[in-house]
Amino acid sequence: MGESLTIGELAKLGKVNLETIRYYEQQGLIPKPPRLSSGYRSFPADAVNRVRFIKQAQELGFSLREVKELLDLQVNPDSTGADVKQRADAKLADIEEKIKILQAMKKSLMNLTATCNGKSSIGDCPIIKSLNSDKG
Amino acid sequence: MGESLTIGELAKLGKVNLETIRYYEQQGLIPKPPRLSSGYRSFPADAVNRVRFIKQAQELGFSLREVKELLDLQVNPDSTGADVKQRADAKLADIEEKIKILQAMKKSLMNLTATCNGKSSIGDCPIIKSLNSDKG
DNA sequence: CTTGACCCCGTATCTATCTACGGGGTTTAT
DNA sequence: ATAAACCCCGTAGATAGATACGGGGTCAAG
How many other CB atoms are there within 10 angstroms of residue B133's CB atom?
Answer: 9
Between A12 and A136, the higher pLDDT residue: A12
Q: Which of B91, B113, B104 is nearest to B135 (CA)?
A: B104
Q: What is the mean pLDDT of chain B?
A: 85
Q: Region A124-134: what's the mean pLDDT?
A: 55
Confidence label for A60 from pLDDT (cuts 50, 70 and 90): very high
User: In this predicted model, which residue has the larger pLDDT, B136 or A114?
Assistant: A114
Select the more confidently predicted residue: A88 or B120. A88
pLDDT(B121) > 80: no
Comparing CB atoms, the residue among A85, A102, A106 nearest residue B113 is A85
Residue A48 to residue B97: CA distance in whole angstroms: 20
Alpha-carbon gap: B38 to the closest alpha carbon of chain A (Å): 30
| Alpha helices per DSSP H over A1-133 | 7-14, 18-26, 47-59, 64-75, 81-115
Task: Give residue A104's pLDDT.
Answer: 94
Cβ of residue B37 lies below 7 Å from strand D: yes
Cα(B64)–Cα(B11) distance, integer angstroms: 17
- Taking the stretch 38-77 of protein chain B, residues with Cβ within 7 Å of any atom in nucleic acid chain C are 39-41
Asked whether the predicted pLDDT for residue A32 surpasses 80, the reply is: yes
Model ipTM? 0.87
What mean pLDDT is predicted for residues B16-44?
Answer: 97
Instruction: Tell me the C-alpha distance between A102 and B95, whole Å.
Output: 6
Q: Which residue has the higher pLDDT, A66 or A79?
A: A66
- Cβ distance A127 to B49 less than 8 Å, yes or no, reads no
Contact A30/A21 with Cβ under 8 angstroms? yes
Whether B72 has a pLDDT exceeding 80, the answer reads yes
pLDDT of residue A84: 78
Residues 57-116 of B with CB under 7 A from strand D: 58, 63-65
Check residue B76 and give its pLDDT: 60
B42-46 average pLDDT score:
97
- Residue closest to B67 by CA, chosen among B50, B80, B83: B50
Q: What is the pLDDT of residue B84?
A: 78
Confidence class for position A83, pLDDT limits 50, 70, 90: confident
Q: Is the pLDDT of residue B134 over 60?
A: no
Task: Verify whether the Cβ–Cβ distance A112 to B53 is below 8 Å.
Answer: no
What is the separation, in whole angstroms, between the first and last Cα of chain B? 49
pLDDT range class, residue B49, cuts 50, 70, 90: very high
Give tens-digit pLDDT for B92-114: 999 999 999 999 999 988 887 77
Q: Which residues of B touch A112 (CB under 8 A)?
A: 73-74, 84, 88
- B71: pLDDT strictly greater than 80: yes
3-state secondary structure of B49: helix
The band of A4, judged by pLDDT with boundaries at 50, 70 and 90, is: very high
Which residue, B70, B82, B5, is CA-closest to B36?
B5
